[in-house]
């Protein structure tokens, strides 16, 4: 059978759907491996609109607004491998453990998600096998390959957060999110604060933990990689100029951190 064979047993994605994983600069030489769990807001054709209007499918409950434009530019500036998920977190959240209530949410912020109610085991499994698993398998493979090639890997999980959640305004512009890593988050926090014009969140508006996160605990901590999450407030990266500014700023900061960690920045 050829490589298209798995589609014949697909229960969810069809030939009309794009593959779940987007990659950029796959052979990038940077030690930074960038991931973007909430990069896209696509839904598989078979799921329709999950019973939601476009106004809901375009807001933060569906994806991390603005992060795609930052992640791609940052990947290019650094020549860093980016692995991103094209499908909406409303189909299955790639930064939640399988089985967590927020993995396939029936409710997000103030919105009920009809298409996720009373989901059969088979339908939930299909979302895992066809969206969640391919993404995490690729991250795993990329880390393995780098290890085989004896290349360092610093895992950075890129996210954005809504400026107002459940009626509460968030003051932070950018944040480092972490749980067990003691190397990268302090370096990021120091660099963000040194910028002078940023309100910096230290594990705000969220902290990473095993019950509510997947990418950092599983690919970063469990594998002993230096790692951190980065969160940027969505109103700052809503348009291309904001995405460009933050990508350039982060690229400069990452290069400085790379130089600190490895002695000299690679050119
Ligand atoms: Zn996110």
What is the rounded distance in angstroms from the CA atom of residue 131 to the CA atom of residue 13? 9
In tens, the pLDDT along 203-212 reads 999 999 999 9
Ligand 1: distance of its center to the CA of 231 in Å? 8
Give the residue from 255, 201, 11 showing the smallest Cα distance to 120: 11
> Of all residues in the chain, what percent carry a pLDDT higher than 70?
95
In tens, the pLDDT along 80-109 reads 999 999 999 999 999 999 999 999 999 999
Ligand 1: distance of its center to the CA of 3 in Å? 31
Ligand 1: distance of its center to the CA of 87 in Å? 12
In tens, the pLDDT along 211-233 reads 999 999 999 999 999 999 999 99
> Of all residues in the chain, what percent carry a pLDDT higher than 90?
93
Ligand 1: distance of its center to the CA of 249 in Å? 20
pTM score: 0.95
Ligand 1: distance of its center to the CA of 8 in Å? 31
What is the rounded distance in angstroms from the CA atom of residue 219 to the CA atom of residue 179? 13
Ligand 1: distance of its center to the CA of 64 in Å? 5
Ligand 1: distance of its center to the CA of 229 in Å? 9
How do strand 111-112 and strand 200-202 relate by DSSP bridges?
unpaired
Cα angle: 124, vertex 117, 103; to 5 degrees: 50
Does residue 70 register a pLDDT over 70? Answer: yes
- In the block, tokens 């697909």 appear at 10
pLDDT, average across residues 153-165: 97
């Amino acid at each position: 059978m050829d490589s298209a064979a798995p589609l014949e047993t697909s229960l969810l994605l069809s030939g009309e759907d794009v593959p779940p994983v987007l990659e950029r600069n796959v052979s990038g030489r940077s030690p930074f491996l960038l991931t973007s769990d909430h990069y896209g807001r696509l839904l598989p054709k078979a799921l329709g609109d999950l019973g939601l209007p476009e106004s809901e499918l375009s807001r933060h409950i569906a994806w991390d607004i603005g992060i795609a434009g930052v992640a791609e530019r940052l990947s290019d500036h650094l020549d860093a491998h980016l692995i991103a998920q094209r499908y909406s977190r409303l189909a299955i959240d790639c930064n939640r453990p399988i089985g967590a209530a927020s993995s396939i949410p029936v409710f997000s912020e103030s919105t009920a998600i009809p298409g996720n109610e009373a989901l059969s085991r088979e339908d939930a499994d299909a979302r895992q096998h066809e969206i969640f698993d391919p993404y995490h398998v690729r991250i795993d493979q990329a880390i393995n390959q780098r290890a085989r090639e004896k290349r360092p890997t610093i895992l950075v999980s890129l996210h954005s957060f809504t400026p107002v959640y459940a009626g509460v305004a968030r003051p932070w512009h950018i944040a480092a999110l972490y749980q067990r890593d003691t190397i990268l988050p302090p370096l990021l926090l120091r660099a963000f604060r040194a910028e002078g014009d940023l309100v910096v969140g230290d594990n705000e508006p969220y902290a990473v933990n095993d019950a509510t996160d997947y990418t950092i605990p599983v690919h970063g901590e469990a594998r002993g990689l230096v790692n951190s999450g980065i969160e940027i407030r969505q109103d700052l990266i809503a348009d291309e100029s904001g995405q460009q500014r933050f990508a350039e700023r982060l690229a400069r900061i990452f290069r400085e951190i790379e130089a600190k960690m490895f002695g000299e920045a690679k050119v």
